[in-house]
Structure formats: C-alpha cells, structure tokens
C-alpha cells in the first residue's frame, strides 16, 4: 500500500484526487494539507511514502515546502503538480529534489502511474515534458532569461507577474519588504523589464501564468 499525502489549496481538487486514489487498491491517502506550511507539518506527522504537491499555493508555496521537506529528509519522495505545463516549473521542481512532475490536466491514469513510479524510487516525467526540458537544456539562450533567475527571484517574479504587491509578497514569503525589493530589482535587470506589466507579459509568454 502506497501512503500518500495530498497537498493542494483547493479542497475540490484534493477531493477528486482522494477519490481517484482510493479507487486504486495500491494507494491510500493518509493525509491532506492546504498550504506549504501545513504540508511540512503533516509530512513530519505522517511520514508518507509519496507527497503529491501543487506548486502554486498561497503563502510559502510548493517549491519552498519541497525544499524544507527535503532538508528534513533527503529521501522524501515528492511528486510535484502544476496547472501549467511549461518546462521551467518542472526544471526547478526537479532541481529542488522532486522525483516527478505532472500537469494537473493529466489523465487520471497518469497520476496513478506517476505515484507508483515515484514510490518505487524512480523518476516520472511524461514524454512531451521531457522533450521540452531537453530542448531547454540545449538552448543556451534560455540562460539569459527566466532560467537565469535564482529560486527566490523566480518565486518573487511569479507573484509580481500575478499582480501581487511587494508588501504582500513579503508577508507570503516571510521576508522583509526591502529584501523583496532587492529581488525585484534583480529580476527586472535579468529579464530586461522596467515595470510589473512587462513582467506579467514575460510570464505569459513563457506560459508560467494564464493570460
């Protein structure tokens, strides 16, 4: 039996995943969390075999939660989920130690396959995403853009692109406003953007957020 911790800020999504996993004899949901903070607490409490975690959540967010869970247990097996199918989210999640990456728009069978694969200690990526990641790696031009952002800069960039204020981002990431301001300056310099609207356009062009 594969013991699964579901992490997503949408209760409806968690319900759908829970029903799907409970219909499969080899998987069982042993806990749920609606934020990165809660995910870290529940992981320590439950020590699940696999964590299925959405990356885009209010507050800490999935990437930071993944980082903290892996810091506590480097052997933790996390399957990252995203509503976006871009290679950049996948690349960063895998770099932080996720064992697999899956679009939330995938077929139900893919989720079962991904969890089973990750639980067995193997990596999971669908073929199309693996292809895009490979292309990104050989495209040296990517390094001058979004891929050049540090992990914290990337988090700040996504939240700014989504319309959040510096103060709100500081509260979400538990940073000072001046630190977020420094990250914002670096992001603008690296991406060649002069304002928040341009950052939003860049994020949309890279399919990191919905238009």
Instruction: Please enumerate in sequence order all residues whose Cβ is within 8 A of that of 53, keeping only pairs 6 or more positions apart, or say none.
Output: 7, 8, 39, 62, 65, 66, 78, 79, 80, 81
Instruction: Please enumerate in sequence order all residues whose Cβ is within 8 A of that of 121, keeping only pairs 6 or more positions apart, or say none.
Output: 77, 99
Q: How far apart are CA 193 and CA 205, in angstroms?
A: 13
Q: Which residue spans of the chain are classified as CATH 1.10.10.10?
A: 141-205
Q: Would you identify the CATH topology of the domain 141-205?
A: Arc Repressor Mutant, subunit A (1.10.10)
161-to-141, 147, 169, 188 alpha-carbon distances in Å? 22, 16, 11, 11
Q: How far apart are CA 35 and CA 56, in angstroms?
A: 9
CATH of 2-136, picked from 3.40.50.300, 3.40.50.2000, 1.10.1740.10, 3.40.50.2300, is 3.40.50.2300
Q: How many helices (H) and strands (E) does the chain have?
A: 10, 5
Report which DSSP code applies to 61. -
Q: How far apart are CA 111 and CA 144, in angstroms?
A: 34
Kindly give the confidence (pLDDT) of every residue in the chain, 211 residues in length, as a single tens digit, with 9 standing for 90 and above. Answer: 999 999 999 999 999 999 999 999 999 999 999 999 999 999 999 999 999 999 888 778 898 899 999 999 999 999 999 887 777 888 888 888 999 999 888 888 899 999 999 999 999 988 777 767 766 665 554 445 888 888 889 989 989 998 999 999 998 888 899 999 999 999 999 999 989 899 999 988 887 887 7
Please, which residues bridge with residue 51 across strands?
5, 78
Selection from 106, 82, 81, 101 nearest residue 91 by Cα: 101
Q: Which residue spans of the chain are classified as CATH 3.40.50.2300?
A: 2-136
Q: DSSP characters for 69-98?
A: HHHH-TT--EEEEES---HHHHHHHHHTT-
pTM of the complete model = 0.77
Please, which residues bridge with residue 81 across strands?
54, 102
């Amino acid at each position: 039996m594969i013991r699964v911790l579901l992490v997503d800020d949408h209760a409806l999504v968690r319900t759908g995943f829970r029903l799907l996993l409970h219909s499969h004899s080899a998987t069982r949901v042993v806990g749920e969390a609606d934020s990165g903070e809660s995910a870290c607490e529940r992981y320590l409490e439950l020590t699940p075999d696999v964590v299925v975690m959405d990356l885009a959540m209010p507050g800490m967010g999935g990437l930071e939660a993944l980082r903290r869970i892996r810091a506590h247990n480097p052997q933790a097996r996390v399957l990252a989920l995203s509503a976006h199918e871009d290679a950049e989210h996948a690349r960063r999640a895998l770099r932080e130690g996720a064992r697999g990456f899956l679009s939330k728009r995938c077929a139900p069978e893919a989720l079962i396959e991904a969890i089973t694969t990750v639980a067995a200690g193997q990596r999971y990526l669908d073929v199309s995403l693996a292809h895009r990641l490979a292309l990104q790696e050989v495209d040296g031009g990517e390094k001058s853009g979004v891929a050049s952002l540090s992990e914290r800069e990337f988090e700040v960039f996504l939240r700014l692109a989504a319309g959040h204020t510096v103060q709100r981002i500081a509260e979400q990431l538990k940073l000072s406003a001046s630190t977020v301001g420094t990250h914002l300056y670096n992001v603008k310099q690296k991406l060649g953007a002069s304002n928040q609207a341009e950052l939003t356009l860049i994020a949309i062009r890279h399919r990191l957020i919905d238009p």
